Amino acid sequence: MQEHFTQEVETLKTNLIKMASLVDEQVDRVIRALETNDTGLCKGVRAKDLEIDAYDNLIQTECENILALFQPVAIDLRFIMSALMINNQLERCGDIAVNIAQRVKKTAEYHNLILESQIIEMGKQAKEMVKKAIDSFVNINIETAYSVLDSDENVDKLNKQTFKFLINKMQKDSSVIEPGAHLIVLARQIERLADHATNIAENLIFYVEAKIVTHKKKLQDRKKDS
């Protein structure tokens, strides 16, 4: 029974790593497209997302089967719970990559506006967070996971600065309203990408340390304000 359980868990880990690799590639492509204004990099992103969705369904089924057949406890149960959550976050990252690709194509004629804003820097940081979050899971590296958590605030700040910059531009020049609106949505998608990377890191921490760190900073800030 234990040998069968170990085999099932190893298969689950392998599929999660394959899915994570696809997501990492997708995110890298769309952020590079944003940086370089090369919309050709966006080709095939939607098709790859279907492959990510297939892994999402497969991994959910594998987790359900392991829970039903083996009723794991302690660290084994935490791994399955974390795998389900990480799988969900990876699938959402894949969806966001598709959304970013669409916005990159719609704003290709306004690359100077993109360069003036901080969207590219924001995208680079979010991409690095996704990469580190995936690496922390693949290598079971807690230090890397915590570094992802520390980076999230930087992306949030860049998002706020980008929003203010674009609103100011749109108020001064009506011709900027349409591309500006697309870029505000794009910045929001990048911020969500960073949020999902943070969630992956938080779930890795839960698996290894049995600590729930989700929403920890928000709850601490709320206590300070009260």
Q: Once rounded to an integer, what is the mean pLDDT over residues 101-128?
A: 96
Are the beta carbons of 98 and 45 closer than 8 angstroms? Answer: yes
* Predicted confidence (pLDDT) per residue in 22-54, tens digit: 999 999 999 999 999 999 999 999 999 999 999
Q: Does residue 225 lie within any of the structural domains?
A: no
Closest CA to 106 of 169, 155, 33, 46: 33
- Confidence bin at 2 (pLDDT 50/70/90): confident
Burial class (CB in 10 A: 0-12, 13-18, 19+), 175: exposed
Taking residue 177's Cβ as centre, other Cβ atoms within 10 Å add up to 13
Could you give the number of structural domains in the chain?
1
Give backbone dihedrals phi and psi of 151, rounded to 5 degrees, phi first.
-85, -20
Tokens of 43: 């080709």
pLDDT in the model for residue 216: 61
For the cut 50, the answer to whether the pLDDT of residue 219 exceeds it is no
Q: What is the CATH number of the domain that holds 103?
A: 1.20.58.220
Residue 81, exposed/middle/buried by CB under 10 A (0-12, 13-18, 19+)? middle
What confidence score (pLDDT) does residue 26 get? 98
| pLDDT number for residue 214 | 82
User: 43-84: per-residue pLDDT in tens?
Assistant: 999 999 999 999 999 999 999 999 999 999 999 999 999 999
| Residue 226 belongs to some domain of the structure | no
In this structure, is the dihedral angle defined by the CA atoms of residues 179, 182, 186 and 187, taken in order, positive or negative?
Answer: positive
Domain extent, residue 42, equals: 2-220
DSSP string, 27-85: HHHHHHHHHHT-GGGGTTHHHHHHHHHHHHHHHHHHHHHHHHHH---HHHHHHHHHHHH
Mean pLDDT in residue range 159-169: 97
Q: Stretch 205-224: mean pLDDT, rounded?
A: 72
Kindly state the DSSP code that residue 212 receives in the 8-state scheme.
Answer: -
Please, which pLDDT band fits residue 222 given cuts at 50, 70 and 90? very low
